Amino acid sequence: MNLASPFSITIVVITALALLGLPIGLSMIVGSTLYLLLVGADMGTVAEQFLNGMYSNYIILAVPLFVLAAEFMNIGSMTERLLTFCNLLVGRFRGGLAQVNIVQSIVFAGMSGSAIADAAGSGRMMQNMMTREGRYTPSYAAALTAVTAIIGPIFPPSIPMVIYALVSDASIGYLFIAGMVPGLLMAVLQMVQVAITARRKNFPVEAPVPLRQVPVITWRAFPALMMPVVLLGCIYSGIATPTEAAALAAAYALVISAVLYRSISRAAFYDALKISSKTTASIGMLIGGALVFNYVVTIENIPETLRAILTHWQLSPVGFLILVNVVLLLLGCVLEGTAILLIIVPVFIPTAQALGIDMVHFGVMVVVNIMLGLVTPPYGLLLFIMTKISGAPIRDIISDTLPFLGWMVLSLMIITFFPDFVLWLPRLMGYQG
């Protein structure tokens, strides 16, 4: 590649601006604008690509609505009731509170669709519960909360899967269904690791919940537990599209928290709207920047060039999937997941389609891989979030995270090499892929 070419200069500018602290979305917009200037193209193309991409994709609207649903859950008492219910299920085992952390990640996975939202919401409460009275070290609690949070975007609903559907045209509904079994696999493997560590370190056993309290705890949590049922039921019955179901999820969380549980104040409601708006603006700017940069990538014919190179290498579908996993795992150590989905993954999609790789299977593999990047040093966004929440040194959190990473890589290998493991449930629901 010519280092003095407009595209090379664009890459250097985007990288330099990002390293200097400019948000990656804005960096891509500035770099793409510079590219159009250098090649003598119409500068208005930037605005055209930004607006057409943002306002013609109805699916993007699901992202802010899922974020809003998560915020309504966090400000109400839904989170506390669900955590109490999870403790009822697994709290009595050795290391029971650690197992509760994993189970709550499965429960909350059907509500927010965001690993960061899970870590900042229910994860913050789990951190406080686990470290109370010195039952667990802050670093172990933080590491466990981080690795359990990555399960959320693999179960439906999933914001990363919504974004993948945006760039691949894969079915959101079948992507959501395909994430269920891999998500359960990751949760089970995490529970195995907790059980091993609990026996070795003699983790505490929580007091069992009296039998007479079981109906009360279950009844108190029942409306919150019904949220994913309502959400997924609307999608898979055809009553609502995923975007409309996201709106229903936000409305349901608000009604349950405000009317039934009576746990939302006006100030909390305003804060939820403000936080959701900021998060949405951040994600929206990143998506917009990626849409503009992807236009530049298309002009440069990068996807076709890559496909020609890979065809020359004569990679088999399995060899291609291994290559994609290695590239994404390396990039996940230094890049934010949404940026990878919007910039890197579209480059691989034409080759994957040419090799006959199922787009739903490919999407689940990609999302799982990118979620691993959230807890992989040195970047590991969730690691830094939990460092801020827990106050534990980052090196201690990384040390406690490593045993879980081994199990997560094992689940990624199973997902990669056994497509039927991912696709049997969607096929059961009518998927023809």
pLDDT of residue 300: 76
Say if residues 83 and 131 touch (Cβ distance below 8 Å).
no
Is residue 207 one of the residues assigned to a domain? yes
Token match 């696999």: residue? Answer: 185
Is residue 272 one of the residues assigned to a domain? yes
- How many Å apart are CA 418 and CA 411, to the nearest integer? 10
- How many Å apart are CA 280 and CA 70, to the nearest integer? 12
Express each pLDDT in 70-80 by its tens digit: 777 767 667 67
The domain total for the chain is 1
pLDDT of residue 419: 93
Express each pLDDT in 154-181 by its tens digit: 887 777 888 898 888 888 888 988 998 9
- What's the mean pLDDT when you consider all of the chain? 80
User: For residues 377, 337, 345 and 179, what is the CA-based torsion angle, rounded to 10 degrees?
Assistant: 100
Query: Structural domain of residue 383, as residue ranges?
Result: 44-428
**Gyration radius from the chain CA atoms:** 22
356: exposed, middle or buried (Cβ count in 10 Å: 0-12, 13-18, 19+): exposed
Is residue 18 one of the residues assigned to a domain? no
pLDDT of residue 413: 95
Tell me the β-bridge partners of 94.
205
Express each pLDDT in 332-391 by its tens digit: 776 667 778 877 888 888 888 888 899 999 999 999 998 888 888 766 777 777 777 777
**Cα separation of the two ends of the chain:** 37
Is residue 30 one of the residues assigned to a domain? no
Q: Which amino acid is at 278?
A: K
Angle at 185 between CA 201 and CA 84, to 5 degrees: 60
pLDDT of residue 1: 52
Is residue 95 one of the residues assigned to a domain? yes
57 pLDDT band, cuts 50/70/90, is low
Is residue 24 one of the residues assigned to a domain? no
| Among the listed residues 288, 376, 286, 291, the one whose alpha carbon sits nearest the alpha carbon of residue 339 | 286
Is residue 149 one of the residues assigned to a domain? yes
Say if residues 371 and 115 touch (Cβ distance below 8 Å).
yes
Distances (CA, A) of 258 to 245, 251, 253, 261: 20, 10, 8, 6
Angle at 68 between CA 62 and CA 70, to 5 degrees: 105
Flag whether pLDDT at 261 surpasses 70.
yes
| Helix/strand/coil for 280 | helix
Is residue 12 one of the residues assigned to a domain? no
Sign of CA dihedral 99, 205, 120, 73: positive
DSSP 151-173: TTTTSSS-HHHHHHHHHH---HH
Q: How many CA atoms lie within 13 A of 292 on its CB side?
A: 29
Dig out the tokens for 62 from the structure: 């699901």
Express each pLDDT in 277-289 by its tens digit: 887 777 777 777 7
